[in-house]
Amino acid sequence: MKIEKIKKLKSGKYKLELDNDQSIITYDDVILKNNLLYNKEIDNDKLNELYKDNTYYDTYNKVVKMISKRLRSEKEINDYLEKNNVIDKGKIISRLKSVNLINDTNFAKAYLYDRLYLSKDGVSKIQSDLIDYGINDNIISDVLSNLDESIIDEKLEKIVIKKIKSNSNKSNYLLKQKIIYDLINLGYDKEKIVYYFDKNITDDNSAILKEYNKLFKKLSLKYSDDKLKCEIKNKLFQKGYSSYEIDKIINEKSN
């Protein structure tokens, strides 16, 4: 077989037109590697080599496109190549690393700051995610060691304040337990969660007052006097209010 014409396509690839009316879409690197600009003759062995090279560059360019959309860890790329049974997996990964398209340190830094500023995640959860991405422990430690703790503290306090405001119908006790549970799951330190909760919670009794009024309206249809107080007290206790809070609101409402 002989190459009759080499034509560049809009996609950046090249079309090789053969004398047997066949055509091959390929890459400039493949043309140069196989010296096709000067050697126009192609036998079956050379044709098979061209197809093999095309498969390699097709896969390589797909991976480059993946990375251009979002940085990927080496493990992610390796998993993708394994899933697609790519023979030249090691060669592709080595090339991507040589041009810095795979760099787990850069990936870890970018992931850390993305999660810090674009999510509610805390450090422990981010660290766990980086482990899942296959990032080396030493890289994770180095990246986290340069993190400004004040950024985490400021973020945590803002989340705590927002949760306090959006859960004003809960008792302080139940609210505290909920916030601790939620934020530990997001990767924050329990002691710091408690600190910022205690710092920002108030003794505002609007929640228990609202609950008391609702219970009084309902239970006063069935009970009265001490029995009514007892029933209200039990219900408020079940909702997580402390004995101090309950006795205070009952005394206020009784006077």
More confident residue, 251 or 198: 198
Q: Do the Cβ atoms of 179 and 244 come closer than 8 Å? A: no
- Is residue 244 scored above 80 in pLDDT? no
Q: Which of 158, 68, 71, 73 is nearest to 119 (CA)?
A: 158
The β-bridge partners of 2 are 41
pTM as predicted: 0.75
- Is residue 204 scored above 70 in pLDDT? no
pLDDT per residue as tens digits for the range 105-134: 999 999 999 999 999 999 999 999 999 999
pLDDT per residue as tens digits for the range 40-74: 787 888 888 888 999 999 999 999 999 999 999 99
Kindly calculate the radius of gyration of the chain based on its CA atoms and give it in whole angstroms. 33
Q: Do the Cβ atoms of 42 and 1 come closer than 8 Å? A: yes
Mean pLDDT, the chain, whole residue set: 89
Residue 26 to residue 50: CA distance in whole angstroms: 8
Grade residue 205 by pLDDT with cuts at 50, 70 and 90.
low
Q: How confident is the model at residue 179, as a pLDDT?
A: 95
Grade residue 34 by pLDDT with cuts at 50, 70 and 90.
confident
- Is residue 100 scored above 70 in pLDDT? yes
More confident residue, 218 or 154: 154
